[in-house]
Chains A and B, each alone.
Chain A
Amino acid sequence: MNPELAGQVFPPVAPYLVGREKIREFSRAVFATNPINLDPEAARAAGHADVVAPPTFAVVVQERTLEQLLAAPDAGIDFSRVVHGDQRFVHHRPIVAGDELTAQLTVTSVKSLGGHSMVTCDSVMTDAAGEPVVTATSTLVVRGDEK
């Protein structure tokens, strides 16, 4: 992997409009049963504008930024050797249906460890007003050549 990737900032991806049915679909897929994930009335009664996404929902948007990294010709990342190492979501506020999220990827570190490479990147997501919503951080491990 190219060590000079560290510090690289990619252009923001096209805004992602968070749909109510997408949140409900994702919620069911992660076995969420909380009515605030599923029922707009319950969400409003709890003080939210619409259904609230599960805490890992931002991965749907983050994925679009990671695709930029994996596709970058100068990155030197072989996708078939990539393993997901760590994942984190830090929320400034919850994602709710109707949000329009713009995500931008920054590579924060590139390390080598025992023949493997590890790349850590932040995808910072902001809403239509430019306010921060969530930062998704992934560490991807790229396995070295098997000898």
Chain B
Amino acid sequence: MSTLQPTTVPALPAVGDVVAERTVQLNRDALVRYAGASGDFNPIHYRDDVAASVGLPGVLAHGMLTMGIAAQPVIDWIGDPARVLDYQVRFTRPVAVDPEHGAALQIIAKAGKVDDEARTARIDLTVTFAEQTVLGKAQLVVSFA
């Protein structure tokens, strides 16, 4: 069975290579699921009235949910979540999740820096919602060793 084989590691990319790309459709049920799994029950992530009362454009996705989702295309490319050594983001814009239509997150992962000796690469993420980036300095360091 292929899933029981040790994962194969891709070749080191060249700087600028797009290594993964994905669009993820987020709905309100995904926010409720993440609240339960993470223990973050801030009501701005599931109650329209509370979100409105603090001046938000709507119920927002947890920043940590966006961060968690954004790493997944890179993990699928590198083959093993254990190969992620370092992962950082800056939360720059909120992702408002419409009760009916949800929100589509577009993720593009590009090689930003490659260290041939250490066999690591820095992967830079561009994460976009409604044509605006929502994460700044979103970078993963992954190991090929």
Binding site for B on A (CB under 8 A): 22, 25-26, 28-37, 39, 41-42, 45-48, 52-56, 59-60, 63, 80, 83-91, 93-94, 137
Chain A residues closer than 8 Å to B76, beta-carbon distance: 33-34
10 examples of A-B residue contacts, CB within 8 angstroms: A29-B33, A31-B30, A32-B68, A36-B81, A46-B82, A52-B82, A54-B72, A59-B64, A85-B90, A88-B86
Secondary structure class of chain A's binding surface, majority of residues: mixed
In Å, the complex CA distance between A147 and B2 comes to 61
Chain A residues closer than 8 Å to B7, beta-carbon distance: 36, 46
| B54–A80 CB distance below 8 A | yes
| B86–A32 CB distance below 8 A | no
Which 4 A/B pairs are nearest by Cβ-Cβ distance? A30-B68, A29-B37, A88-B88, A94-B82
| B3–A55 CB distance below 8 A | no
Query: What is the chain A residue whose CB lies nearest that of B74?
Result: A55
B55-95 CB contact bits vs A (8 Å, 1 = yes)?
Answer: 00000000111011101100110011110111111110000
B20-52 CB contact bits vs A (8 Å, 1 = yes)?
Answer: 000010000010011011111000000000000
Chain A residues closer than 8 Å to B68, beta-carbon distance: 29-32, 54, 56
- What's the A-B contact tally at a CB cutoff of 8 Å? 122
Chain B residues closer than 8 Å to A83, beta-carbon distance: 91
Known: A29-B37, A52-B82, A56-B71. 17 other contacts (CB 8 A): A30-B37, A30-B72, A32-B72, A37-B81, A45-B4, A53-B81, A54-B68, A55-B84, A56-B67, A60-B38, A60-B39, A63-B40, A86-B137, A87-B89, A88-B86, A89-B86, A89-B88
Chain B residues closer than 8 Å to A35, beta-carbon distance: 3
